[in-house]
Amino acid sequence: MRYIWLVDVQAVSALLAALVILAIGASVILRNRTDRTYVSFSTFTFVVSAWQLCNFIETATGSGLWRWLALWPAATIPPTAIAFFRQFLAQPSIGGPHRPPRVTLAWTLLAYLGLIYGAVVAPIHESLWFLVPFGAYVFGGLYRCVYDMFVQYRATTKRVERARIRYLMLGGLLATTLALTDVLPRFVAAWPTVGNVLSILYLYFISQTLFRYRLIDVNELVGKMAVLGSLVVLLWAVYGLLLSWVGGGQDGLFLLNALVASFVILILFEPVRSLLENTVNRWLLRQRTELRGRLETLRRELLHVVDVPDLVRRVITALEESRRVTDASVFLLDADGAGYDRAGFFGAAPTDRLDAGAARALLERARAGLIDVDAVRRERDALSPDAPLEKREALDAIIATAELMNAGLIFPFLGSAETEQGPWLLGLLAVRDDRAEGAFDLDDVDMFRQLASQGARVIESSQAYERVKERDRLAALGEMSAGLAHEIRNPLGAIKGAAQLLLGPDGKPLPPGPESAEFIDIILEEVNRLNNVVTRFLDYARADRAEAGKPPQIDLNNVVRKTVTLLQAAREAKGTEIKARYDEMLPPVVADPDALVQVFLNLGLNGLQAMPEGGVLEILTTRRRRSKLGYGQFAEVRLRDHGVGIPGDRLKKLFIPFFTTKSRGTGLGLAIAQRIVSQHGGTIEVRSTPDEGSTFSVFLPAAPGVPVAATTTGKMDNPFLPPRDPTPAPRPPTTAPAPTAPPAEAAAPSDDGALPEQGAARVVTT
């Protein structure tokens, strides 16, 4: 008798689940039939609905045919579920990898073949040895979805998406586990069938998370689902107890029990609802405390911010993650002062621009301080019929503009400068909580006001910083122009003098001979020099242009080895020793190897030129966790000479174009090197002591995706570098063999523009 009751309940719950799940899937596909995530979710729900419907018919009729048919949608559940969840996790906002369920499809095909065999040859689908692995395949696929969500949860950093994935992961684990218990009655196990109820709630929750992207919506949805789930469990418990009391042969008492159950539910619903509402209210109070804490932390962070886009990003992120604001936006004054452009927002998209003329009423009121839109509405409604029409129109204009901004409160970024209309209005911060009126109390408003004041200081500091940068840029441009003029005028003067001497004292051209040939050589030499200056200047101008295509991922050690080969062939390398040391655990970088050879060769030649009497040039590669760019993973190439050094007053001018301390230099070598390294996201650091030598360190960021373990010390092979040759490489000789002449395109960046000649440097490699 107990088993019959469970079968009846299971049949009814399966029918209800089929209908409700079908409605959930249809509601999603009707919203958008072109979105792949929506389509994959609807496909998944339709398959689950078909499985529930077949289960209902099979349970109600006991037909073996329907039992066999129910296994087909059951076998289709794993691939459709995995396909949906992987499509969902691969959304741009989450950033997971897009992987189709190839392995699962192979198991699905095997299950299909087993079902076909059971229908044609022998009914193996009715045997326990088939149903147990079949059930393991179905629920294993669902648990694989939970595992995929767990992996993506650990990899996601944005709090909004982590919350969505966390709720889906925990809900999926609970729904799958309880759905697994629903098969226990098939083995005559007395277990209540609650898996269908939880499956409906879970699929409904997924459908809602597809439409709701804000963290505050997701948390609110979780609260509603908790209330709904509690009521469902309450109904199930009351009716289940009464139906168990009725038992078989007492169906006539069902109406009386239903009446009693209704009274019980009405009695219990109110205290349960109050309890749940109080819990939600306490949760919202915690949100309010969290909002104030985040705003206070943000104000302290803004003390060290001078970049306006960084300011906007921090403000929007903090408000979004606070869960107390549903809509927020920042508008900043444009360069012409003709309006305010939207710089950032979350929630419903506000207007992208406020024209100064159209929004004049709101801007004038903002100069006086905070704008409370609800207070403006009350002020307008309280106007007497005799009130001036201009005032009513101004209030209506303020309300209309605030609605375009999706604003409940508007806080001005007021500058320190004064204008005829009042303080200089640098921008606006608009916030709103559309769940309730008066969502922010006086303490919240005061925190927002302090945040706006701090933001105004950041904007003014950024503008002052930009003015200083522009002044320095103009100063550098003037110095560069003076250097370029000097470099051009010197060859032109020599050319003019030689040409005048070719005319002779009587104004007639000199006859061919040694004297005229000498003057012609001077002209050709100076023309070549002038051409070299122009060529180097064009190289400097082109250094910022990105090459076509994405640079490859390279081993920086190989680039340095090529540079050492070129340096040992240079004319400046005579009488010097080049010591090279390589870090075999150096992380790979994404860069153009030819451009980096140009950088390292230029720095190496400068080091050799700084040691005219000979010495040691040390070159090493190593991995670093910190540079002027901040903390991270970097590959460092360090070149150290023991030459004359650089005076402190010249260090800051090293990378200014046309600044040089050499009599024949163009002053563009280091400027080009700096541009190339900056183009690759790196930086060059210089340390020098007069009469002791200089050290140039080039920092390049590690290639994306290289884990921290790739930069730890150890003797094992690095899996992120090219594989080593298993055969032992011969040890490099202590004295380098006579090298071949370096290619012209790779041997250009000496500061004087001359191609290096062969030398006799001693190379020591470790």
Using one digit for the tens of pLDDT, what is the confidence trace for 353-377? 999 888 989 998 998 888 989 889 8
659 and 698 part of one domain:
yes
pLDDT of 666: 57
Quick one: residue 614, left, alpha or beta (phi over 0 = left, psi -120 to 50 = alpha)?
A: left
In angstroms, the CA 211 to CA 38 distance is 10
In angstroms, the CA 480 to CA 495 distance is 23
- Residue 618 is assigned to a structural domain of this protein: yes
Task: Tell me the sheet residues that pair with 345.
Answer: 329
Phi, then psi, of 694 in degrees rounded to 5: -135, 155
Using one digit for the tens of pLDDT, what is the confidence trace for 565-604? 888 877 787 888 889 999 988 999 998 888 888 789 888 8
- Residue 115 is assigned to a structural domain of this protein: yes
- Mean pLDDT, rounded, for 422-444: 79
- Mean pLDDT, rounded, for 428-448: 79
In angstroms, the CA 234 to CA 257 distance is 15
pLDDT of 722: 40
- Mean pLDDT, rounded, for 439-466: 82
Q: Is the pLDDT of residue 454 over 60?
A: yes
566 and 674 part of one domain:
yes
- Mean pLDDT, rounded, for 686-712: 78
The token pair at 707 is 């884990």
- Residue 742 is assigned to a structural domain of this protein: yes
Q: Looking at the 3D structure of the chain, how many domains does it have?
A: 5
pLDDT of 247: 58
Using one digit for the tens of pLDDT, what is the confidence trace for 221-258? 666 666 666 666 666 666 666 666 655 555 445 555 55
200 and 139 part of one domain:
yes
CB 616, CB 691: distance < 8 Å = no
345 and 198 part of one domain:
no
- Mean pLDDT, rounded, for 607-619: 88
Q: Is the pLDDT of residue 461 over 60?
A: yes
251 and 262 part of one domain:
yes
- Residue 28 is assigned to a structural domain of this protein: yes
Which is more confident, 573 or 220? 573
pLDDT of 20: 83
In angstroms, the CA 534 to CA 242 distance is 96
Domain boundary among 253, 269, 304: 304
What CATH number does the domain containing 80 carry?
Answer: 1.20.1070
Number of other CB atoms surrounding residue 13 within 10 Å: 23
Average pLDDT, the chain: 76
pLDDT of 689: 86
DSSP string, 439-499: -S-HHHHHHHHHHHHHHHHHHHHHHHHHHHHHHHHHHHHHHHHHHHHHHHHHHHHHHHHHH
Using one digit for the tens of pLDDT, what is the confidence trace for 100-151? 888 888 899 999 998 898 888 888 877 888 888 898 999 999 999 999 999 9
Domain boundary among 466, 487, 505: 466
Provide the percentage of residues in the chain whose pLDDT is more than 70: 70
- Mean pLDDT, rounded, for 689-705: 88
| 86 three-class SS | helix
- Residue 271 is assigned to a structural domain of this protein: yes
**Domain carrying residue 75:** 2-212
419 and 530 part of one domain:
no
Its pTM stands at: 0.41
34 and 124 part of one domain:
yes
In angstroms, the CA 199 to CA 171 distance is 9
588 and 733 part of one domain:
yes
331 and 430 part of one domain:
yes
- Residue 547 is assigned to a structural domain of this protein: no
347 and 397 part of one domain:
yes
Provide the percentage of residues in the chain whose pLDDT is more than 90: 16
Least confident of 203-207, 446-450, 506-510: 506-510
pLDDT of 720: 32
562 and 424 part of one domain:
no
366 and 231 part of one domain:
no
- Residue 250 is assigned to a structural domain of this protein: yes
Query: How many helices (H) and strands (E) are present in the chain, helices listed first?
Result: 19, 14
pLDDT-derived band of residue 45, with 50, 70 and 90 as boundaries? Answer: very high
CB 345, CB 325: distance < 8 Å = no
- Residue 548 is assigned to a structural domain of this protein: no
User: How far does Cα 350 stand from its chain's mean position?
Assistant: 23
Domain boundary among 195, 212, 229: 212
What CATH number does the domain containing 327 carry?
Answer: 3.30.450.40
